[in-house]
Amino acid sequence: MSSTMMVLDPVAPPQHTPRAQTTLASLAGKTVGFIDNAKPNFNLLVDDLGKLLTGRYGVRAVIKHRKSGQVPVAEAVLKDFAERCDAVVTGSGD
């Protein structure tokens, strides 16, 4: 008796085309953005990281955006960060 087995791939295709990533040789003179997902304490961590980046590594500016919980970041914010920032960190705290 022969039997057939169907195997399904549970991996979803990427929603966005991957972009080439670049490496910064230095943070000096750069603008770093932080997207805060509103978890407890991440805003405090961002404040401390901003001071460290500007004081020790010569970052020119730190831009912060606090989004609302599970709601995705607005496209306008992403566009603004893409235009103004040399590097962006997204994260959460707890």
* C-alpha distances in Å from residue 54, one per residue of 66, 82, 89: 20, 20, 15
Predicted confidence (pLDDT) per residue in 58-84, tens digit? 999 999 999 887 788 889 999 999 999
Contact predicate 30/88, CB 8 Å: no
Q: Which two tokens stand for residue 50?
A: 């901003």
Contact predicate 17/72, CB 8 Å: no
Predicted confidence (pLDDT) per residue in 7-50, tens digit? 888 887 777 776 677 889 999 999 999 998 888 888 888 999 99
* C-alpha distances in Å from residue 60, one per residue of 8, 26, 43, 53, 93: 50, 12, 19, 9, 25
Residue 48 is predicted with a pLDDT of 94
- pTM, entire model: 0.74
